[in-house]
Amino acid sequence: MAGIGGAETTGKKVGWGLLNAVVVIYALFPVLWIVSLSFKSSATLADGNFIPREWSLENYRNIFSTSEFTRALVNSIGIAIIATAIAVVFGTMAAYAIARLDFPGKNLLVGVSLLIAMFPQVSLVSPLFEIERSLGLFDTWPGLILPYITFALPLAIYTLSAFFREIPWELEKAAKMDGATPGQAFRRVIAPLAAPGVFTTAILVFIFCWNDFLFAISLTSTEQSRTVPVALSFFTGSSQFEDPAGSIAAAAVVITIPIILFVLFFQRRIVAGLTSGAVKG
């Protein structure tokens, strides 16, 4: 805790610079390490050096030449985008109702979504495994999209209803005064104002779906619907003497890139979304 509102002396600036450097190194070094591994050639993979002695694109060429990875990448992108789209649409509708309308059962809905947010996901894995097998959803896209939507909805509803409460509602009243129905007021006036909040929520939900491992490994069994995190854990070298570390590292870097881009471009929005959704409720 530096002094409050003290003069910005050079000494203080240096101190802050050092602290910042510690934080940045803390956050980045595991990421840099996996990037470095991914660029090592198979000969130098196991040399234990933090920085590659010999840079090579061999690992990237390897993973993109197998359907094991490319198929998983398609699955990951498709499943995450569809689940995000549906969760955000449903979440927006529900959050608008929670923030703006008065109807019985509202508190129940808020309570249920809070319960789901805290729910131990592994408790759902056993019944879903059996139910999806009997419905033919096991090892399909919808089989993963459904649980993703369900667990993303509480996040979407909280984040969005927090955003919606900040919107100037006089505009909606004015629209109703001019003869718009509540439905029209929602579509024409509120939806455009709410767009930034919706966008932020979409990023958070996408990160959640992109990240999931437990459902993906339990409810899939073949390349057909495996997502990248799961495919990674099944990577093996082309022979039992070959270390799959290089391929794993390269694939890991590929799926980390979108996250890093989101963070770089939308840092402010992500912070706002996370804190408003979680703290305000």
Partner 1 sequence: MSHATTAGTAKTEASPTPVTPKKKPALSEGKKAERRLGWLLCAPAALTMIAVTGWPILYSVLLSMQRFDLKFPDRTEWVWFDNYVTVLSSPYWWNAVWVTVLLTVFTVAIELVLGMSLALIMHRALVGRGIVRTTTLIPYGIVTVVAAFSWRFAWTPGTGYLAEALGGDPVLTEKIPALLVVGLAEIWKTTPFMALLLMAGLALVPDDLLKAAAMDGASGWQRFIKITVPIMKPAILVALLFRTLDAFRIFDNLFVLTAGSQGTSSVSMLTYNNLIKGLNLGIGSTMSVLIFIMVAIIAFVFIKLFGTAAPGSDDGGKR
The contacts of residue 56 (CB under 8 Å, 6+ apart) are: 39, 40, 41
> Which of residues 12 and 61 has its CB atom nearest to partner 1 in the complex?
12
* Contacting residue, 81, 167, 180, 274, with partner 1 by CB under 8 A: 274
User: Closest approach of Cβ 65 to partner 1, in Å?
Assistant: 21
Q: Which of residues 186-215 bind partner 1 (CB under 8 A)?
A: 207, 210-211, 213-214
Number of residues counted as binding partner 1 (CB under 8 A): 110
Q: How far is CA 240 from CA 202, 237, 248, 258, in A?
A: 41, 6, 15, 32
Q: Using CB under 8 A, which of 74, 111, 136, 236 touches partner 1?
A: 111
The answer to the question of residue 31 lying near partner 1 (CB under 8 A) is: yes
Asked if 52 contacts 246 with a C-beta cutoff of 8 angstroms, the reply is no
Which of 52-60, 61-69, 193-201, 258-266 is the region at the interface with partner 1 (rule: CB under 8 A)? 258-266
Judged by CB under 8 A, the residue of 63, 80, 149, 198 near partner 1 is: 149
Which member of 42, 56, 66, 121 binds partner 1 (CB under 8 A)?
A: 121
Binding mask 228-247 for partner 1 (x = CB under 8 A): xx--xx---------x-x--
Residue 79 makes contact with partner 1 by CB under 8 A: no
Could you give the CA distance from residue 177 to residue 24 in angstroms, rounded to a whole number? 53
**Chain residues 55-74 in contact with partner 1, contact rule CB under 8 A:** none
Q: How far is the CB of 246 from partner 1 (least distance, A)?
A: 10
Q: Which of 63, 194, 249, 250 binds partner 1 (CB under 8 A)?
A: 249
Options 57, 74, 112, 171; binder of partner 1; rule CB under 8 A: 112
- Rounded to a whole number of angstroms, the minimum distance from the CB of residue 67 to partner 1 is 20
**Residues 6 or more apart whose Cβ sits within 8 Å of residue 201:** 88, 91, 92, 155, 156, 159, 160, 163, 273, 277
Query: What distance in Å separates the CA atoms of residue 74 and residue 146, rounded to the nearest whole number?
Result: 18
Residue numbers 4-23 binding partner 1 by CB under 8 A: 4-5, 8, 12-13, 16-17, 19-20, 23
Per CB under 8 A, the list member of 43, 57, 74, 93 interacting with partner 1 is: 93
Binding to partner 1 in span 167-186, by CB under 8 A: 181-183
Does 85 contact partner 1 by CB under 8 A? no
Verify binding: residue 109, partner 1, rule CB under 8 A.
yes
* Spatial contact of 62 and 236, defined as CB atoms under 8 Å apart: no
